[in-house]
Structure 1
Amino acid sequence: MNKIYTIGFTRKQAEEFFGLLNEHSIDLVLDVRLNNASQLAGFSKYPDIKFFVETICDCEYIHDDNFAPLATTLQRFRSQQIPWEQYKKEFKEVMAQRDISNYIRQNYSDYLDKKIALLCSEATSEICHRKLIAPYFGVEIEHL
């Protein structure tokens, strides 16, 4: 793998979302959301997203909440109790506690020569934890 992709589903129609995955020949959609079964997730709600990704894009789908923030941190950020900078700090501490670089090597070594797209909710990566996760893969990052 020489590049990792990130994608959010918010503000995207299904046609655009799955079109981007196909256009970039994604092999694995790695869902890094804390909660992938929310009613608000539309077409990206589990188990529908797994079916759509496998059927429309002919790629794998894995939900792995080891890449997700702590529920308390996410709630505090969404309710504006902490700013983005504090959220990033706490998130990076959690990734360090989870030894995420080693976790990637142990659990995703079979995928490191494939095209992976990190899936989260936010429309853009600017204020989203997928932007913070991508560098752990040690390759170029492209936000879709």
Structure 2
Amino acid sequence: MGVPLYTIGFTQTTAAHFFTRLKTAGVTKVIDIRLHNSSQLAGFAKSEDLAWFLKSLGGIDYAHHPLLAPTDDILKAFKKEKGDWGQFQSRFLNLMTERKVETRFKAEDFDGACLLCSEATPHHCHRRLLSEYLNDKWGQTLKVTHL
């Protein structure tokens, strides 16, 4: 059956749609994998506000794991310098390998959890890369759904 893991981005959506998707899916914990989670630009997804909204609106726990985020250098090369997606992907996956993230967590840690980042869709997003990386390392144990 697999360990259910969800992913979601908060941009280009309303708070109502964002929180409804989480509640409807049955998410029990949001794992914030943004490097910086306290920017005023994040709106309702600013770390302290997000943790309160999640608990109050859905009884959902919140954790921030920047270990699962790209470095500032990797982000800058891709976003600000309009870098190549293939290069971002390669650098991010190499970083996850260097950090050995698959040994620092277990699949069960992600049971019913949702990986959060800012990107509206998973196509060019590190949440998809991370979920695929972990699933590969853990023998396809995760049943990933992008919300």
| TM score, norm. by length of structure 1 | 0.92
Residue in structure 2 matched with residue 125 of structure 1 by the alignment: 122
The residue type equivalent to 1:52 in the other structure is F
1:139 maps to which residue? 142
Q: C-alpha offsets along residues 79-124 of structure 1, whole Å, 9 cap, x if unaligned?
A: 235200000000001000110111112xx74x34x30100000000
Q: Secondary structure at the match of 1:134?
A: helix
Residue of structure 1 equivalent to 2:102 = 101
Deviation at 1:128, TM superposition (A): 0.6
Distance 2:81 2:105 in 1: 31
Amino-acid identity (%): 34
Which structure 2 residues correspond to residues 30-69 of structure 1 after superposition, within 5 A? 30-69=31-70
Q: Give the aligned residue type for 1:39.
A: Q
**What stretches of structure 2 of length at least 5 have no aligned partner?**
136-140
Q: Which amino acid aligns with 1:130?
A: R
Q: Which residue of 2 aligns with 1:82?
A: 83
Any stretches of 5+ residues in structure 1 without a counterpart? none
Once residues 48 and 142 of structure 2 are traced to their aligned partners in structure 1, the CA distance between those partners, rounded to angstroms, is 29
How far apart in 2 are the matches of 1:22 and 1:139?
20
1:72 aligns with 2:73: yes
Counterpart Cα distance in 2 of 1:77 and 1:47: 27
Matched residue type, 1:140: K
